[in-house]
Amino acid sequence: MPEKPQILSRKQVAESRLFRVEQLELRFSNGVERTYERLRAGSVGAVIVVPMLDKDTVLLIREYGVGMEAYELGLPKGRVEKGEDMLEAANRELKEEIGYGARDLRLLKLMSQSPNYMQHRTQIVLAEALYEDCLEGDEPEPLEVVPMPLAELEDWVAREDLTEARSIAALFLARSALLQQS
């Protein structure tokens, strides 16, 4: 593996309420220099949670995504807030988005989204031993909770309203983890 490129300079080139864009000048180990842009990650990270209602059933949510301008099925997720660890953030998001907490929370995998252009990391958390517990979230309308039999994963990820790469990756990784432990 080559030596990592040297970062010659970096500066912020655009900013909005949610997004910050940074421009970087890199020199690769072969001497080639290039200018890149990347999105800065604004927080300590994000979690995406695979909540198992029982050993065969995942709880998905249906939520409007203005990026896609569509109602999309996906897993509960959100930013890690200051002072929280990943598991605390996962449990809070569960309570806010599906009305359950979990007694058994496990880190499965730290994912990137677009390693060439984004600094963002998302931790997949597997949540088992659920119990009813509700926290008020900041959703503009109630989220619909949709149970998905894990045995039907291939059919569900073929749906046109289940498209998010992180949700698809997390569902497959959770199924593998659950198969390995059974």
**Least CB distance to its own copies at residue 80 (A):** 16
Distances from the Cα of 59 to the Cαs of 50, 54, 117, 118, in angstroms? 7, 10, 31, 28
**Quick check: 72 binds its own copies (CB under 8 A)?**
yes
Write down how long the chain is.
182
**Quick check: 118 binds its own copies (CB under 8 A)?**
yes
Q: Which is nearer to its own copies, 53 or 157 (CB)?
A: 157
Planar angle of CA 47, 24, 45, nearest 5 degrees: 10
What is the largest distance, in Å, between two alpha-carbon atoms of the chain? 58
**Quick check: 178 binds its own copies (CB under 8 A)?**
no
Total residues at the site for its own copies (CB under 8 A)?
68
Member of 82, 131, 132, 158 binding its own copies (CB under 8 A): 158
Query: 66 Cβ partners below 8 Å, 6+ apart?
Result: none
**Least CB distance to its own copies at residue 9 (A):** 13
Q: Measure the CA–CA gap between 148 and 159, rounded to whole angstroms.
A: 12
Distances from the Cα of 147 to the Cαs of 19, 67, 101, 151, 160, in angstroms? 33, 24, 16, 12, 17
Q: Are strands 121-132 and 33-39 parallel, antiparallel or unpaired?
A: unpaired
Q: Could you count the other beta carbons within 10 Å of the beta carbon of residue 124?
A: 26
Q: Which stretch binds its own copies (CB under 8 A): 65-73, 79-87, 95-103, 126-134?
A: 65-73
Q: Which is nearer to its own copies, 83 or 116 (CB)?
A: 116
**Quick check: 181 binds its own copies (CB under 8 A)?**
no
**Least CB distance to its own copies at residue 131 (A):** 27
List residues binding its own copies (CB under 8 A).
Answer: 1-2, 4-5, 7, 13-19, 21, 23-24, 26, 28-30, 32, 34, 36-39, 62-72, 74, 109-122, 140-141, 144, 154, 157-158, 160, 163-166, 168-169, 172-173, 176, 180
